[in-house]
Structure 1
Amino acid sequence: MSASNGKNRSTTRPASAWSRNGSAPRVALMVETSQSFGRDLFRGITRYLRENGPWSVFFVQRGVCDRVPKWLKKWSGDGIISRVNTPDMRHFAAETRLPIIDLNEQLHGMGVPLLSNDHAAIGRMGAEHLLQRGFEHFAYVGYNGLYWSDSRRDAFAETACQSDVCDSYSCRAQAPQRFRDDTWELEMENVIRWVKKLPKPIGVMTCDDFRGLQLLEACAIAGIAVPQEVAVVGTGNDDVACEVASPPLSSVMLNSFQMGYEAAVLLDRLMRGETVDSTERLFPPLDIVTRQSSDVMAVADPLVFKAMGFIREHACDGIKVTDVLRHVLVSRTVLEERFRQLLNRSAHAVIVETRTKRVKELLSQTDLSLIDIADRAGFKHVEYLCTVFKRETGWTPTEYREQHGLKQNRPFQVGF
């Protein structure tokens, strides 16, 4: 987590309800329940409350673009965590004395602590994912004029193309709400025409998973093969959107659980009368969840293509580079030269990358022990697995499971 160069102001709020009369503080959670991102924020908040004591929570089902509820102006509470990004929220924040933690990604300068996704890091991660698959052409689909979408686009273009030369498509609608309400079909014809004109093969990043859904549908209508001709990676890892997509959509996984947890920490401090720095706090994305929409290698070289197929199929069997050489029947010098030229990394690095990806899957989706995971991912010793995993990801296996594992993915529960 890092801080931006925003205004470095402090916010001091009155002591919370429990410090006055011993009762649980009354907290309004104005966070969307319609998408995985919002529900994961709730899970992070819930984790903090389980660990540190209850709040009396007020919330209703919300969409991303819902306005400030009318009841809030007369509500007698102690604190608010808000994802509302409409101008009326700015007015409310300026008028109220209630402590507020802001999680919106469009409005800035509300004078309260702001927690945001690191949009530049999101764009870079999407670009690196497609670069690793050998693509030489790139494009981006977003919402023109929305800060979070534009920030992801700019970082994607800079990373993928080393200059602002990536093709892009932006919705004519001014906000995602209008896109969902009445422009999906109207925009579809434009997206189809745009994607047909793109050079192939091409890697495309979308600003969110619902834009990714639309792009995949446009490719299906246009008869464009995904991922062979157009590989697509979305943003947000929304479980419903990514799995209902055809083919299933790869996506950047955001750190919404930790963001929710940290929002609860900060609000708790404010309600206790502490001073909290209002500088924006940025949360980098966690990882790419690779599904069929980008699970391809865009390499024309038949030797590298054959070697990559063998590695993907057998990396977790404990193979070495010598096994790859026996399969493709060339010298190590030739193989490594081709890999460096087309993929900018060695065959050994690809083997390690494939095994590491498998370890991530087993850590996050199973309760297997590290001994069993090492065996299934092609590592002879747990100690070596831990060393490689830390080097490749920056996490220990235990830390990764803590952040991404099954206990975080339990069915959503309320009742603090």
Structure 2
Amino acid sequence: MGATKAYRIALLFNANKTFDREVLGGIADYLGSTRVAWEVFLEEDFCLRLAGIGNWQGDGIIADFDDPDVAAALADCQLPVVAVGGSYAAEDQYPPNVPYVATDNFQLVKQAREHLIDVGLQRFAMFSLPEAPENRWAQEREHAFRRLMWNDRSEAEVFRGCATAPCSWDEALQGQVEWLRSLPKPIGIIAVTDARARQLLQACSMAGIAVPGEVALVGIDNDPLVRLLTPIPLTSVMHGAREMGRTAAHLLSQKLHRVRVANAPVLVPPAGIKVLASSLHQPAGHPLVMRACYYIRQHACESLKSHQVAMYLGVSRSSLEAYFRQELGCSVHDVVLRYKLEAAKAGLDSGERSIAEVALGCGFGSTQYMHLVFKRELGCTPRAYRDREFEAPQLLSANG
């Protein structure tokens, strides 16, 4: 029996982006779970380069068509090509005669907005990107947001800001601060990417705007690097990018075996939403409670005590506890613990620090105490949470 033919496949992705990395992971999943034999070409530094792609002496290509240069370079390609990218409301925006696997932009935004509704918010806005050919996916997310707001007969507040660069960084942040201050509060904001959400978190900090008390924020991407750089653990909608990679690899495999493949786009829904502190808005009518929660969020991991919060606000501890019980149905200590747990979960998720380092960095004082708190509040140990040996329940709510 002859050996199975090994097809030579080029993967045109920029693996510096979380989305592209996840798509590549899905392709790897497909290769690992099937008998297909592919020799994969991918730049050694995982960057995307098109020089010489027209002379590629291979059998097929899977490529990120969100990049207009990639779509243009492959427009006349004679090899089997499968495109991956964002979805479009208008069918004529998809490339002709190419199977296309798309992340469902409408569903990404819809899931983010539904989460903000679930936490009790009634006003919504979107932080987008300047209009550009390479940002068409961002404009599609804007369109989705406007459509959802129009369906509710509500005005769609969208802010694009300016592109960020070292020379324009101060200007960009100042514009974000001015926009944030102009918005009615409380409000839920959907950022078109986690990177955009991270900028807004910085702008909120500069402006003294409480997150999530006044602004509840949701990003899109679930980018682990961004999570490490955010001052507050960021809620994010997760692409179904891994499933997209598996689907794209399957379609290309069919084309290589001369199976007829429809060129209609295949829409892949989001994989879910990772809920962390940035969106956990708790309606609080008393301004003292909002100020207290803002202060707690900033200092919870510094072994903050209830009497220190009361001292900062200039009220007695008993009065502050009474306000918390009335407005949130829980104690000041419960809210401090909630933020410490959120920070610890984010630290364990990142995998960058040991459990002992996370415990000390999040104000637990010792690994043993964090172990006790995790068991009591989450029903698992920190190690089990980090290794995902259980299905994590919802973190204790502000209702006790």
Tell me the amino acid that sits aligned with residue 153 of structure 2.
Answer: S
Q: Aligned match of 1:42 in 1, 17, 24?
A: 24
Alpha-carbon separation, structure 2, partners of 1:183 and 1:117: 31
Tell me the amino acid that sits aligned with residue 80 of structure 1.
Answer: I
Match of 1:93 in 2: 74
Alpha-carbon separation, structure 1, partners of 2:379 and 2:222: 18
Alpha-carbon separation, structure 1, partners of 2:99 and 2:385: 33
Contact 1:26 1:55 in 2 (8 A): yes
Match of 1:329 in 2: none
Contact 1:120 1:152 in 2 (8 A): yes
Tell me the amino acid that sits aligned with residue 216 of structure 2.
Answer: A
Contact 2:282 2:328 in 1 (8 A): no
2:209 is aligned with 1:224? yes
2:49 is aligned with 1:51? no
Once the two structures are TM-superposed, the CA of residue 144 in structure 1 deviates from its matched residue by 4.3
Contact 2:14 2:20 in 1 (8 A): yes
SS of 1:282's partner is: strand
Once the two structures are TM-superposed, the CA of residue 377 in structure 1 deviates from its matched residue by 8.1
Give runs of aligned pairs for residues 323-338 of structure 1, distance below 5 A.
none
Alpha-carbon separation, structure 1, partners of 2:103 and 2:23: 12
User: Highest relative contact order (Cα 8 Å, sep 6+), 1 or 2?
Assistant: 1
Alpha-carbon separation, structure 2, partners of 1:240 and 1:218: 19
Match of 1:79 in 2: 60
Contact 1:232 1:250 in 2 (8 A): yes
TM-score, length basis structure 2: 0.67
Tell me the amino acid that sits aligned with residue 35 of structure 1.
Answer: K
Contact 1:154 1:164 in 2 (8 A): no
Match of 1:153 in 2: 142
CA 31–87 in structure 1, closer or farther in 2 if over 3 Å, else same: closer
SS of 1:276's partner is: coil
Once the two structures are TM-superposed, the CA of residue 195 in structure 1 deviates from its matched residue by 0.7
Percent identity over paired residues = 28
SS of 1:103's partner is: strand
Match of 2:6 in 1: 24
Contact 1:116 1:281 in 2 (8 A): yes
SS of 1:251's partner is: strand
Structure 1: gaps (5+ residues): 1-18, 174-178, 314-356, 379-416
Match of 1:104 in 2: 85
CA 47–279 in structure 1, closer or farther in 2 if over 3 Å, else same: same
Match of 1:242 in 2: 227
**CA-to-partner distance for each residue in 1:214-240, whole Å, 9 max, x for gaps?**
111111111112111111100011111
Alpha-carbon separation, structure 2, partners of 1:274 and 1:181: 50
Contact 1:28 1:77 in 2 (8 A): yes
CA 169–304 in structure 1, closer or farther in 2 if over 3 Å, else same: farther
Once the two structures are TM-superposed, the CA of residue 36 in structure 1 deviates from its matched residue by 2.1
Contact 1:140 1:206 in 2 (8 A): yes
Alpha-carbon separation, structure 1, partners of 2:102 and 2:331: 39
Tell me the amino acid that sits aligned with residue 77 of structure 1.
Answer: G
Alpha-carbon separation, structure 2, partners of 1:219 and 1:243: 18
**CA-to-partner distance for each residue in 1:7-30, whole Å, 9 max, x for gaps?**
xxxxxxxxxxxx9x8431001111
Q: Aligned match of 1:271 in 256, 259, 276?
A: 256
Match of 1:261 in 2: 246
Q: Aligned match of 2:100 in 102, 114, 118?
A: 114
Structure 2: gaps (5+ residues): 287-323, 336-377, 396-400
**CA-to-partner distance for each residue in 1:279-333, whole Å, 9 max, x for gaps?**
01111112110111112223539889535889x99xxxxxxxxxxxxxxxxxxxx
SS of 1:275's partner is: coil
How many residue pairs get aligned? The number is 301
Q: Aligned match of 1:140 in 126, 129, 150?
A: 126
Q: Aligned match of 2:328 in 292, 295, 306?
A: 306
Give runs of aligned pairs for residues 287-302 of structure 1, distance below 5 A.
287-300=272-285
Alpha-carbon separation, structure 1, partners of 2:16 and 2:385: 27
Contact 1:113 1:277 in 2 (8 A): yes
Alpha-carbon separation, structure 1, partners of 2:60 and 2:146: 39
Match of 1:166 in 2: 156
Once the two structures are TM-superposed, the CA of residue 91 in structure 1 deviates from its matched residue by 3.4
Match of 1:367 in 2: 389
Calculate the aligned-residue CA RMSD, in Å. 3.2
CA 377–89 in structure 1, closer or farther in 2 if over 3 Å, else same: closer
